[in-house]
Each structure stands twice: as C-alpha cells, then as structure tokens.
A = this chain, B = another copy of it.
Amino acid sequence: MYTVKEVSKLLDLTEHTVRFYTDKGLVPSVQRDKNNNRLFDQESINWLIGVRFLKQCGMSVEDIKSYVDLCLEGNSTIQERYEIILKQKVIAQAQLEEVTRTVKYMEEKANHYLKIIKGVIPDDTNPGNWESKYANNQLKKAQADFL
C-alpha cells in the first residue's frame, strides 16, 4: 500500500498531479483509509501507469476518463476500446518517428558544435549556417512527409 507521496515518486508525477488524476476518476481502484487518505495498492499503481501511457501519446484527461469508464462498463465496450487503442497506437508510432528524428538532429547538431569547438571546422553562426544546411538536407525528407 502506497501513499500519494510514494506513488508520486514512483511514477515521477507531482503529488498535485496524482491527486488530480485520482480526483478525475482516472484510477478507479484507489481506496481511502479511515483517515480519508488515498491508498494505492499494486493495482492502482498499475492503472496509473496505464494512464501515463495514454497521456504520453496525447490523450487528454477527459478522453482517458471516457476510456476508463468504458473499461468499467464491461465486456460490451471491448470493440470500442480496441479502436481507441488502435488509434493511440498509430499516434504513438508517429511520435516514435518524430522523436527519433529529434534525437538524430540533436546528435548531429552536438557533433557539429563539437567540431567547431575543437577547431576542426570554422564557426558559421551567421544566417545561412549549419541550421540551414542541415535543415536543407532534412527538408527533402521532411517535405515528403508534410506535403
């Protein structure tokens, strides 16, 4: 059994957020002790982890609430829930691509700066610099995605 504080540490959420989520009904299994303190058992923590995943891929608190309610409604809603998860899966996959590109950008950028610092190449801070060159290269791929 965990307190709000422990859970917040465990899942890297603020206590505020943990209370916020439970109050919004995102963690139906959360209990109270005789002093009205929130008590999280393993299951509640598991729920919270699930909630974090759903949040992660851009679901609003409201939408997560709806989803949780569907879960509580029972087996009749499984098709509906399946479709929600499928949609989120697609979103998460798109995020994965974006984040992968971002990591790559940061890596190449860091390398670029490092080279300048080490004097391997001259600096080029002014407009028309690496930002441009890098992005110009990226743009072909990027545009293919966006257009």
Contacts and interface: CB of A to CB of B under 8 A. Distances in A.
Chain B CB within 10 Å — which of A73, A77, A101, A106 has the most? Answer: A106
A68 to B, nearest CB: 10
Nearest to A88: B106
Contact of A99 (B96, B114, B116, B147): B96
A96 B135 CA distance: 21
B136 A53 contact: no
Given A93-B103, A106-B85, A110-B89, A10 B147 contact: yes
Chain A contact patch, size range: 35 or more
B47 A131 contact: yes
A28 B93 CA distance: 32
B85 A110 contact: yes
A79 B142 CA distance: 29
B89 A107 contact: yes
Given A131-B50, A135-B45, A92 B71 contact: no
A123 to B, nearest CB: 4
A1 interface: no
Given A11-B146, A99-B95, A49 B139 contact: yes
A100 interface: yes
A129 to B, nearest CB: 8
B92 A132 contact: no
A92 B117 contact: no
